[in-house]
Amino acid sequence: MAKCDKCSNQSKFFLPYGPHKYCNKHFNSFFEKRFKKTIRKYKMLSKNEVIVVGVSGGKDSMVLLHLLEKFYSKEQTIKALSIDEGIPNYRNKAIKVALKEIKKRNIEFKLVSFKKKLGKTMVDVMKKTGRNKTIGSTCSYCGPFRRKLLNETAVEMNATKIATGHNLDDEVQSIAMNFFDNDLKRMARLGAITKGSKGFIPRIKPLYLAPEKEIIAYASLNKINHFSEECCPFSWQAKRNAFRTMLNEMETKFPGTFYSILSFFENLKPSIQKKEKTTFCKKCNTLSSGTLCSACLKLEKIN
């Protein structure tokens, strides 16, 4: 194998979009530098913030927590929040991993559940949605409910920012899905940082420029414990899987496609946002495209 771009060691990582070739050490520093650069570039943090990290136990959120602690815990307060959607044999296992890691770190932590806060687990939702197309698929309930609880609980924890583990692949999939759906309203809400308002904490995605594969590599290099069986048992319903497959194929054939889609979106974003004005839910203050947010609408539908 070829040499590292930065030293005379053998390269262990080949990143075709650069192209970059790095040894373990230089891959690590490349990954960490990009993380800090992302936070600066999108002005994600100012001084003395209270950052509530959404921790699911998966690789993204565990790497995010690790990096925020490593580089920002001196100037910022870092707290963790886990949400239990009530998906048996999945989230309970992931949360166990999350809790173990969080306890090691001695940071303020909260665990909230769909059951307690909404009166329904995702299994209850699935029983209602089943094949009933008019109220939407099971998976379309999970995200809005999770975002709603994330915000409400972060408010209780005095957060000034909510940090989530969304990576480059996630974001590019969302952009493509909104493009295929002709959904400008939703597309306007994407991006590295979401504006806040009274009762709505701004959300940041510090792993926004990190490809999923590299997060997996970083987690393994740095021995970051995480729950790796990441496929939700309900996700056979998710349209996202089809987009993931298609986009990964494009990235393999044409390296750099992901960053190119992201840049296209960022060039377009100001005009989309001018057209699609940001509004907030009358009931719970969450960012919303109508009078009520999708979580509040969906709660009405299944109750």
Binding site for Zn ion (CB under 5 A): 4, 6-7, 9, 23, 26, 281, 283-284, 286, 293, 296
Using only C-alpha atoms, the chain has a radius of gyration, in whole angstroms, of 19
Are 76 and 51 in contact, with CB atoms under 8 Å apart? yes
Q: Min. distance of Cβ 18 from Zn ion in angstroms?
A: 14
Q: Min. distance of Cβ 149 from Zn ion in angstroms?
A: 11
At 200, the amino acid letter reads: F
DSSP string, 21-88: EE-HHHHHHHHHHHHHHHHHHTT---TT-EEEEE--SSHHHHHHHHHHHHHHTTTSEEEEEEEE---T
Q: Token pair of 153, please?
A: 């609980």
Start-to-end CA span in the chain (Å): 59
Residues with Cβ within 8 Å of 260's Cβ and at least 6 positions away in sequence, in order, are none
Q: Min. distance of Cβ 22 from Zn ion in angstroms?
A: 6
Instruction: Report the residue number, 144 or 206, with the smaller CB distance to Zn ion.
Output: 144
Q: Min. distance of Cβ 14 from Zn ion in angstroms?
A: 13
Q: Min. distance of Cβ 39 from Zn ion in angstroms?
A: 24
Instruction: Report the residue number, 6 or 117, with the smaller CB distance to Zn ion.
Output: 6
161-163 vs 50-54, strand pairing mode: parallel
Residue with tokens 């349209």: 239
Residue with tokens 């910022």: 76
Q: Min. distance of Cβ 140 from Zn ion in angstroms?
A: 15
Q: By CB neighbour count within 10 A (0-12 exposed, 13-18 middle, 19+ buried), where does 185 fall?
A: middle
